[in-house]
Amino acid sequence: MSILDSKIPAGHISDKWTDHKNHLKLVAPNNRPKIDVIVVGTGLAGASAAASFGEMGYNVKAFCFQDSPRRAHSIAAQGGINAAKNYQNDGDSVYRLFYDTIKGGDYRAREANVHRLAEVSGNIIDQCVAQGVPFAREYGGLLDNRSFGGTQVQRTFYAAGQTGQQLLLGAYSALSRQIGLGRVKMYHRHEMLDLVTVDGKARGIIARNLVTGELERHAAHAVIIASGGYGNVYFLSTNAMGSNVSAAWKVHKRGALFSNPCFVQIHPTCVPVHGTNQAKLTLMSESLRNSGRIWVPMKKEDAEAIREGRLKPTQIAEEDRDYFLERRYPAFGNLVPRDVASRAAKERCDAGYGIEANDTNEGVYLDFATEIKSKGRQAAFAQGDHNPSEEKIISMGKKWIEEKYGNLFQMYEKITDDNPYETPMKIYPAVHYTMGGVWVDYNLQSTIKGCFVAGEANFSDHGANRLGASALMQGLSDGYFVLPYTVSDYLADEIRTGKISTDTPEFEAAENEVKNSIEKFMSNKGTKSVDFFHKRLGLIMWNKVGMGRNEQGLKEAIEEIGTLRDEFYQDVFVPGDSNEMNPELEKAMRVADLIELGQLMAVDALNRNESCGGHFREEYQDAEGETLRDDENFKYVAAWEYKGMDAKNSVLHKEDLNYEFIKIAARNYK
């Protein structure tokens, strides 16, 4: 019997959450002020959770490493948020959203969690509108929708190309309200460096004040980790520079299992790499695939001429273009899921059709010319001009594009110095989101009692591949609509606990451990920067634990990362002092955890002898290059137990996945 109890309630899939909620314990309003709750991270999941718990009357302490909770990286989400509202009357329903998400995740997510997500999706939109989130609207005054990958309906709500910003500012406003009312105490520029457990229960954290360098002890009756994903293990990713795994990893080191670390989303549409001093990659929203068509030249000599600057993409005739997604996946076309689109782009570039003039020739076109013409004509007709000139069509089409995607087009131009209204965008896949994370049960509780994990930091809802516009949905669902119920159920048994002291051996020991690790870095007589090691880690990860993985490469990666870890501790140089603001020290602490995680990702990928979603093992593919799952042997969640910094010693536990309501099948987007 596995040690993992997912606590999925019995009953029909559409009744589980309601029944479960009806039987969870409650904490009476007069008892809530006696209970402390810590929330680490202030993105969509963290901010919405902190605001909700503050509002319910608990004492909340919220932490973020940025200078303000509003900076959390949810802010950078672009395209939109899904909800099964069926406002467009195109056949959407809770079941469809549930089904699309399970299928999109290549049958490696939990049915019950995903159904709950679909159930509350509509409430999220209601909530955000009530908070004053300015979603895009139609001329009739009602909310507009668009499509995202892996679906055949229009269920995505959006605010231009900055939906994450608007949703996060909504959650931030709710959080700000609670801070103003004194129900939430906000600790900005603070980083969680350890979890404190007492008698097996999470009882607080050790945090470092990033301005003064002081270590602080904070106690609570429950700790919620909402610290985001770990894409920065690749060094280059679309994550923010500060995004890190440390809060989640500390919890893992204290006993929480870490699930499916090898499930990483490589997003198809990002601005290609330009050079060795590059620090991060920029996403071009998936929403652009509503309007853009992805192609490479049909002829290798044309691709070569483009790379050498002898030909421009606009000079390639229509019949000489290979719209490879439309060709391979006619039913979904450019809107196939991200993992499918990314692999298809890689396949074309590996075959020699890439158009970017960098070391690897990795790049494909995302072209808006067709959409500009069609939307321009529509706009002209709407104005009563039924015989518009070509010029007018193009000009009105560009205006339409600007309204939908203006900020993205501007961002692209700033980065590349190319005008995407005139010439197609050049794009290539980049690391974007991590489906893996801390293992949690149906209540979002980790294997440590009282330690809950939400948003991208947990593993639960997206299986082996997340569909576009579902991360925002999950973050807000966890924070607003799941944790308030499930954490309260846990806290119902804590009303007699009383104030938790930080003056205990457990806090003392945890603080000393953190202090020692800081001192080790500060006194190290190394010669190389943290970034030097981080970049090396990133290269190993991208080349061997990236879009295509194989047994030999993974075995090499495991050894290379082990060596890198030793060299890092021997030779890293951290300037400055520990009792002041020290960005290099912050980075060193984060990269130490990323190295350990990176090795576990390779171990997990090596263990999973199948291809599913974003995890593509080259040994397991069909004749057409599609993923070959092995449901007989791998229809489980891999949950790893920490056994020291060498991940080769980590112990695997399995949670079997049962599909009672969806018939498990080969994923097909053709």
By the rule CB under 8 A, 382 interacts with other proteins: no
For other proteins, the binding residue among 28, 130, 317, 623 (CB under 8 A) is: 130
Q: Smallest distance, Å, CB 69 to other proteins?
A: 8
Strands (E), 189-327: 190-198, 201-209, 215-219, 222-225, 258-259, 264-270, 293-297, 321-322
Do 313 and 261 form a contact (C-beta atoms < 8 A)? Answer: no
For other proteins, the binding residue among 63, 98, 99, 135 (CB under 8 A) is: 135
Q: Which pairs from 513-517 meet CB under 8 Å and 24+ separation?
A: 513/194, 514/193, 514/194, 514/206, 514/208, 514/215, 515/215, 517/589, 517/592
What's the Cα-to-Cα distance from 205 to each of 61, 62, 184, 188, rounded to whole Å? 11, 11, 17, 15
Q: Smallest distance, Å, CB 443 to other proteins?
A: 18
By the rule CB under 8 A, 11 interacts with other proteins: no
Q: Smallest distance, Å, CB 544 to other proteins?
A: 25
Closest CA to 438 of 422, 423, 460: 460
Q: Smallest distance, Å, CB 499 to other proteins?
A: 26
By the rule CB under 8 A, 177 interacts with other proteins: yes
By the rule CB under 8 A, 599 interacts with other proteins: no
Q: Which stretch binds other proteins (CB under 8 A): 141-149, 251-259, 298-306, 639-647?
A: 141-149
> Binding to other proteins (CB under 8 A): which residues in 72-111?
72-73, 75-76, 85, 87
Q: Smallest distance, Å, CB 585 to other proteins?
A: 10
Helices and strands, counts by H and E, the chain? 18, 19
Q: Which amino acid is at 263?
A: F
For other proteins, the binding residue among 82, 86, 176, 287 (CB under 8 A) is: 176
By the rule CB under 8 A, 159 interacts with other proteins: yes
Strand order in the sheet with 59-63: 184-187, 59-63, 36-40, 222-225, 451-453
> Binding to other proteins (CB under 8 A): which residues in 14-53?
48, 51-52
By the rule CB under 8 A, 543 interacts with other proteins: no
By the rule CB under 8 A, 422 interacts with other proteins: no
For other proteins, the binding residue among 149, 242, 297, 463 (CB under 8 A) is: 242
By the rule CB under 8 A, 280 interacts with other proteins: yes
CA distance 348 to 350: 6
By the rule CB under 8 A, 2 interacts with other proteins: no
By the rule CB under 8 A, 209 interacts with other proteins: no
CB nearer to other proteins: give 51 or 256. 51
By the rule CB under 8 A, 509 interacts with other proteins: no
Q: Residues touching other proteins: how many (CB under 8 A)?
A: 90
CB nearer to other proteins: give 7 or 274. 274
Do 221 and 33 form a contact (C-beta atoms < 8 A)? Answer: no
For other proteins, the binding residue among 1, 22, 28, 139 (CB under 8 A) is: 139
Q: Smallest distance, Å, CB 131 to other proteins?
A: 5
3-state secondary structure of 366: strand
3-state secondary structure of 415: helix
CB nearer to other proteins: give 76 or 198. 76
> Binding to other proteins (CB under 8 A): which residues in 444-503?
480-481, 484
By the rule CB under 8 A, 123 interacts with other proteins: yes
CA distance 536 to 573: 16
By the rule CB under 8 A, 141 interacts with other proteins: yes
CB nearer to other proteins: give 333 or 406. 406
CA distance 25 to 30: 15
> Binding to other proteins (CB under 8 A): which residues in 281-320?
282-283
By the rule CB under 8 A, 580 interacts with other proteins: yes
Q: Phi and psi dihedrals of 150, rounded to 5?
A: 80, 15
By the rule CB under 8 A, 354 interacts with other proteins: no
Token pair of 357 as six digits? 């003039």
Token pair of 22 as six digits? 């009806």
Q: Smallest distance, Å, CB 361 to other proteins?
A: 15
By the rule CB under 8 A, 415 interacts with other proteins: yes
By the rule CB under 8 A, 183 interacts with other proteins: no
By the rule CB under 8 A, 124 interacts with other proteins: yes
What's the Cα-to-Cα distance from 12 to each of 83, 111, 116, 245, rounded to whole Å? 21, 11, 12, 36
What's the Cα-to-Cα distance from 128 to each of 52, 266, 511, 640, rounded to whole Å? 14, 29, 39, 36
CA distance 649 to 643: 6
Closest CA to 478 of 17, 25, 145: 17
By the rule CB under 8 A, 539 interacts with other proteins: no
For other proteins, the binding residue among 12, 25, 274, 648 (CB under 8 A) is: 274
By the rule CB under 8 A, 523 interacts with other proteins: no
CA distance 534 to 234: 8
